[in-house]
Amino acid sequence: MKSAQRTLSGAARHAAEQRCIAEFVGTPYGRLARKKLMRDGKVCVPLFASEQEARTKTSSMASAVARLVEDTDGSVKSVMLKRRYTRIKGQDRLMIPLSDLGTDFGSVSGDMEDTLVYVLWALDNPGYDRILAEISTCLLSLEGLLAQVFHRDQVLEKITDQMAGRTQAGTRGNSRPQPPPYSALCAVQEGTILRIVDGSHLDVHKNYEQGSAVECQIPRGWGLLWHGLSVHGGDGCTAAWLARLHIFLRALGCPQAATGKIDLVD
């Protein structure tokens, strides 16, 4: 995994602005995107200025993955991959460090990170100091993988305490409410799907069944942003392999410090 200290200042913000994100936020879809992020806890956004750029960039990323996972005859090096890389919850869903995929993958993933940082800042910015694309990794699914069990990306008690400004037992800290963390999944190939329960970030103590999820199909070159407390699960895999970029984003700052609460409802 790669730790990236990407902020809105300097190169990151400039790169994002070059992709017309400011104009996107001002469009009818951009305004709808903000409402969906607040209400549903998720939103799907374009990461490139055109479909042609999206196809070109993601094709370069997919080729970089193919060079790692396929033999010269096109067969998948499943045994090597399972031995070498971390398997998520024992499934054939592997975490590939970006450093193993070379510059073709890494440079485009950096562009995706920059854009998502600015999109999140534009859609949900009640006074953040900055937003970091904190951890990025390539998720690789192998053929036959079953759908993932529902989960949250963050520890419920820890994040709700932070958002409410409560200090956890045995730790020191201030009582300022902190922004929620977010996750993102960027599609490198067609067939990238995440199942997510709309609004589950607002009702965190409810038990959600598998059938309550919405299937989100992420177009190639787009990214799905979701609240860190949203209940979700990855889809199965019927292709030989499927790669996508997963990013953890963290906002720094103290939204609505005077009121002592964060209102997530638009």
Q: pTM value?
A: 0.83
Judge whether 109 lies within some domain: yes
**Given pLDDT bands bounded at 50, 70 and 90, which one contains residue 10?**
low
- Averaged pLDDT for residues 240-256: 82
Is residue 257 a part of any domain in this protein? no
Per residue in 97-123, pLDDT (tens digit) is 999 999 999 999 999 998 898 888 888
Mean pLDDT of 256-260: 33
Q: Specify the higher pLDDT residue, 236 or 121.
A: 236
| Per-chain mean pLDDT for the chain | 82
- Report the distance separating Cα 70 and Cα 66, nearest Å: 5
In a domain, 264, yes or no: no
Answer for the pair 12, 117: CB distance below 8 angstroms, yes or no: yes
Within 8 A by CB and 6+ apart from 237, the residues are 92, 141, 142, 143, 144, 145
Which is higher by pLDDT, 4 or 64? 64
Task: State percent of the chain over pLDDT 90.
Answer: 48
φ, ψ dihedrals at 31, nearest 5°? -65, -40
CATH of the domain at 172: 2.60.120.620
In a domain, 265, yes or no: no
135 part of a folded domain: yes
169-226 residue pLDDT tens: 545 555 566 677 899 999 999 999 999 999 998 887 787 776 788 999 999 999 999 9
* Residue 87 covered by a domain: yes
**Helix 102-123 crosses helix 11-18 at what angle (to 10 degrees)?**
80
Number of domains forming the structure of the chain:
1
Domain that holds residue 161: 2-251
- The answer to whether residue 122 sits within a structural domain is yes
Q: What confidence score (pLDDT) does residue 265 get?
A: 30
Angle among Cα 185, 187, 190 to the nearest 5 degrees reads 140
| HEC per residue, the chain | CEECCCCCCCHHHHHHHHCCHHHHHHCHHHHHHHHHHHHCCEEEEECCCCHHHHHHHHHHHHHHHHHHHECCCCCECHHHHHHHCEEHHHCCEEEECHHHCHHHHHHHHHHHHHHHHHHHHHHCCCCEEEEEEEEEEEEEEECCCCCCCCECCCCHHHHHHHHHCCCCCCCCCCCCCCCCCEEEEEECCCCEEEEECCCCCCCCCCCCCHHHCEEEEECCCEEEEEECCCCEEECCCCCCEEEEEEEEEEEEECCCCCCCCCCCCC
**Quick check: is 256 in a domain?**
no
Q: Which of 28-32, 91-95, 126-130, 155-159 has the highest mean pLDDT?
A: 91-95
